[in-house]
A and B are shown apart, each in its own frame.
Chain A
Amino acid sequence: MSTPLLDRFVSEARDLLQLAASGLLVLERNPADEAAINDVFRSVHTLKGSAGLFDFPAFTKLVHAGEDVLSAVRDGRLGLTSELVDTLLDTLDQTGAWIDAIASDGVLPAGADGLSKEMTAALRALLPGDFGTPEAEAPIAQTGDLVELDWLAGLPEQDRLAAFSAAVGGAGLLAIEYVPLEDCFFSGEDPFALLRQVTPLHSLSIEAGEPWPEIDNLDPYRCVLRFRALTTAPRADIEALFRYVVEQVRVAAVPPPALISVGGDRHEGPVYGDFVDDARRLIVAGDWPAFRQAIGALRQFTAPTLRVGSALRWLEVVLAAPDPVPGWLSGLVDCIADGDADLVLPAASGPAPATVSAVAPVPPPIPSSPGRTGLGTISPMAIRILESQRTLLGLPLPPGGLAARLDSVARTVANLLVAEARRATDSALWSAAVDAAMAQDGVAPVVEILDQWLTPDGMSAADAMPTPGDQTRRRAETGDHPGGEVKQASRVLKVDQAKVDALMTLIGELVVSKNSLPFLARRAEQVHGSREMSREIKDLHAVIDRLAQEMQTAIMAVRMLPVSEMFDRFPRLVRDVARKLGKRIDLSIEGADTEADKNIIEALGDPLLHIVRNAIDHGIETPDLREAAGKSPQATILLRAFQESDQVIIEVLDDGRGIDPEKIKASALKKGVIDENCAARLTDQEAVNLVFTPGFSTAAKVSDLSGRGVGMDVVVTGVEKTGGSVAITSVKGRGTTVRLSLPLSMAVTRVMVVEAGGGMLFGIPMEHIAETVRVHRGAVRRFKQAEAFVLRDAIVPLIRLEVLLGMPSSVWIGDGSEEDAVLVVRVGGNLIGLLVDHFREGMDIILKPFDGILSGIRGYSGSALLGDGRVLLVLNLKELL
């Protein structure tokens, strides 16, 4: 039972109890010793906090009661008599005995519950005042301040109008939810009579807490009712009234706008256009008398059952407030303007009653507003954190405190977006809003975006609430259960990647085993002479082949991730880097939901980062340079992903200064990458491609952003590791495009099988192969030790694969046709001819990298098993050549 944490708790508890006891004795001699009472209180308080980590309710309750008594003493509500000191010391002794029991047995002794109840009651009896005392910890507040308020919209409009009028008149509005115990009739309670005592009672709704049973099974003595009421009575009155049933009552402050909702039949046609125009003008002008008149006139000929009628009634009560809130008025007018629009009220701009901000840090209710961006499905905790930031921004600011508040909120939200893997656009929106808030020295831009995010998505929220005929219903979510409506259970299974990889390996072996069936078929025919058997095996092979391929496709789909996984970090990065360099850059992202294999996405992170940093650092000009060049001072970087046949293409496009081929040539010359003859022959595109040459960097000086002594060759290496390729195109003065072409998956490699060294088989990755040619032996030219041949109008060096691999020169002298098989491969932008004995077929293989002592061997990327049991060595041409 003993855990390190429990051991630590036991020793801490003993120390704290010791501290508290000696403090109490000091206090008894000198009750005015403020430091002593603070120490005692804090010891017990800390003990309570620690005890909460363990499941010792009896212990925690007693310590809690002791803390409450000490709190009363500290605040001067309770005098410290010798009797009280005795009681408290008894409490500490009991607590100490329990700690001993916990230390030896790990649990509280039997009977601790009863003893705790008794002692707790005795301690609480010492507390001054009843529940109504505001300083005392009001049990109602404790059981649950925040009740869900979404039922408000279901109340009759009349009730809501009345409560709203009372609330905007200055009285704090409270919502009460009272769910009596089932056996309450037997304990002498009368819930209905109790609620009737609430004055003023603006609304009372009674409903069954569960579906009514069949009449035969109905138990009339069992109370299954739920009462909900709205009142402007002071909270203390409510707490006093319900003091005997505190656990069954929840109270929440209601911000008045939570009551506003419009309902009724929709009207047709633009009949109200004139009114809407007038109304908007009057709201801007703040001309309330004229607005009131206009509303009165329109009500004359509007059927009260219409939605418009409802909106007009609400306009009247909102206008009747001493200080009408223009935002609420506009929201209602918008509703009239568009019969289908949902009511959208600005949050938190109203003269909320003082009690709301003081008592409940509930963000103002946020209306549903389809068409605006929500954040999609995020966790309830994320919603709570966002709501907390929203509340924080709405609190009054200490002088000069805006920047501090914005700083911490900006960071919290930005990180949360990353943690919750939100779209890159959300992060971009957020940082833009933060910048705007900083610039205008006000929180409005960030508040607006938080409100949008906290708005439940119109469609899914409506689906989740199967209340019929309730289209204008508004939700007032509270901090306690915010996510319930927003988050729809997604049927997602989290699987360890190792399991998927294991499955992949198994399928790979299945593919290999399946490949042996054609050999078997041939044997059946040639050795056993059974054509029929051979045909049946071939049929079976076709079926298994198809199934294996489908399985392979399915398992690959499991490994696919959207590229947003790697795109999401760029808005923040671009913003930061651009700021640092004093450049203005607008980053747009397209195709973030394009999918690619997880390994590729992971391998691509750094190369892409490098490309984007390069673009910002070297590509994009400063705003004044751009303006001088006649371009918009704001540069654009487009990050784009899409699928093209069996490849995923990722492009980074910028509209910066582009790459100057002449500069590249000059730089390459200086660095000795090329010689002058070569430089003269290079086309512009070939010059641009020089940036991929290892060690090449055009930047005049190495900056701390993209420089770091490495160049684009790092990008090429990274991308080629995934089996992809990089291309760069640039127009001087207009911009640069870097294009990464990537395979959909890294799991299957397509190779060309060739024979060399007298029957040995080698695989050559297909992406390196430019073409296969047959070269007449006479066309091979010798240059000293080297050989070459002419392919169309280019000279291609020729290398014998067996020589390259250090195999003994074979006796192979060709197949008599006077022609050699030459595989033309492209490595690092150069064409090279590989002379082999034979071309064999192209095939998909599952490449297994060497492990163990073979892993150090260079020149091979791994091996694969062939259907006939032979091992195919796959060459790594980059290392070989």
Chain B
Amino acid sequence: MARSRESEMNGAPPHILVVDDGITMRMFYRSVLEAAGFMVEEATNGMEGYEKVLAQPFDLMIVDINMPKMDGYSMIRTIRNDPAVRMIPAVVVSTEAAAKDSARALEAGANFYLVKPVAPEDLTEVVRMIVGVAA
């Protein structure tokens, strides 16, 4: 099916960037998303995430909030200010279930908000929909 995404041109699977300072979380994302057929790249903080986004095209970024060097909000805000990469959808994943946190994430420019712990099937479904892959 047609997908408007970065990796469509070369027929590669959708490319997902996960940005989280927790190595277990990153491993979780990688195992769930790779099992669902996506390609996963990792970054351990917002700064590294931003640099990766500039270096190669991604179809979606999954971003933790509280990280060293640059937090998730700043990372998304920075990316939204850069016309070359601002269109990449962002999902914020946080441990805070409170509504004010999801409002903050959206204000920073995230497209969706998930609360940790994320069920693998929810994660796959959200990613699948945002990168445009039918079930």
Contact = CB atoms under 8 A, between A and B. Distances in A.
A142 B117 CA distance: 15
A46 B24 CA distance: 9
B55 interface: no
A405 B24 contact: no
A93 to B, nearest CB: 21
Interface string B100-135: 101100110111110011000010011011111111
A403 B107 contact: no
Given A8-B23, A145-B98, A415 B116 contact: no
A570 B1 CA distance: 10
B2 A569 contact: yes
B44 to A, nearest CB: 11
Contacts, number: 171
Given A50-B24, A405-B80, A382 B99 contact: no
Interface string A9-43: 10011000000000000000000000000110110
Contact of B116 (A49, A145, A359, A411): A49
Contacts of B126: 381, 385
Interface string B18-44: 001111110110010000000000000
Contacts of B24: 5, 8-9, 12-13, 50, 53
Contact of A388 (B31, B67, B111, B134): B111
Contact of B106 (A384, A385, A388, A410): A388
B97 interface: yes
A384 B129 CA distance: 11
A146 B87 CA distance: 29
Interface of A is mostly: helix
Contact of A409 (B4, B22, B111, B116): B111
Contact of B23 (A12, A141, A146, A361): A12
Nearest to A13: B24
Nearest to B115: A52
A45 B66 contact: yes
A112 interface: no
Contact of B88 (A388, A408, A572): A408
A419 interface: yes
Contact of A572 (B4, B98, B131): B4
B80 A401 contact: yes
B134 A421 contact: yes
B49 interface: no
Interface in A333-382: 357-362, 379, 381-382
Contact of B99 (A13, A145, A401): A145
Interface size class of A (residues with CB under 8 A): 35 or more
Given A45-B95, A405-B109, A408-B80, A50 B88 contact: no
A632 interface: no
A415 B23 contact: no
Contacts of B83: 403-404
A419 B4 contact: no
B130 A403 contact: no
Contacts of A416: 129-130, 132
A415 B4 contact: yes
Q: Which of A146, A357, A404 has the most CB of B within 10 A?
A: A404
Interface stretch (A389-397, A729-737, A788-796, A842-850): A389-397
A33 B98 CA distance: 29
A5 B28 contact: yes
A420 B31 contact: no
Interface residues of B, number: 53
A568 interface: yes
Max chain A CB contacts within 10 Å: which of B86, B112, B122? B112
B89 to A, nearest CB: 4
B10 interface: no
A49 B95 contact: yes
A137 interface: yes
A401 B110 CA distance: 13
Contacts of B131: 415, 419
A570 B2 CA distance: 8
A418 B129 CA distance: 8
Interface string B64-90: 101110000000000011010011111
A4 interface: yes
A418 B99 CA distance: 29
A358 B101 CA distance: 10
Given A392-B111, A404-B81, A572 B2 contact: yes
Nearest to A42: B66
B62 to A, nearest CB: 13
Contacts of A404: 80-81, 83, 86-87, 109
A411 B6 CA distance: 11
A615 B54 CA distance: 36
Given A49-B22, A49-B25, A404-B80, A385 B129 contact: yes
A198 interface: no
B97 A419 contact: no
Given A407-B86, A573-B2, A415 B106 contact: no
A202 interface: no
B5 interface: yes
Contact of B28 (A13, A53, A146, A408): A53
13 contacts: A42-B66, A53-B24, A142-B97, A357-B103, A359-B103, A388-B113, A404-B80, A408-B109, A415-B89, A417-B132, A419-B128, A568-B2, A569-B1
Given A4-B31, A419-B128, A568-B1, 7 more contacts: A142-B98, A385-B130, A389-B111, A404-B109, A405-B80, A412-B111, A415-B131
Interface of A: 4-5, 8-9, 12-13, 38-39, 41-42, 45-50, 52-53, 137-138, 141-142, 145-146, 357-362, 379, 381-382, 384-385, 388-389, 391-392, 395-396, 401, 403-405, 407-412, 414-421, 568-570, 572-573
Minimum-distance CB pairs A-B, first 7: A415-B132, A569-B2, A52-B117, A407-B87, A50-B24, A418-B132, A404-B86
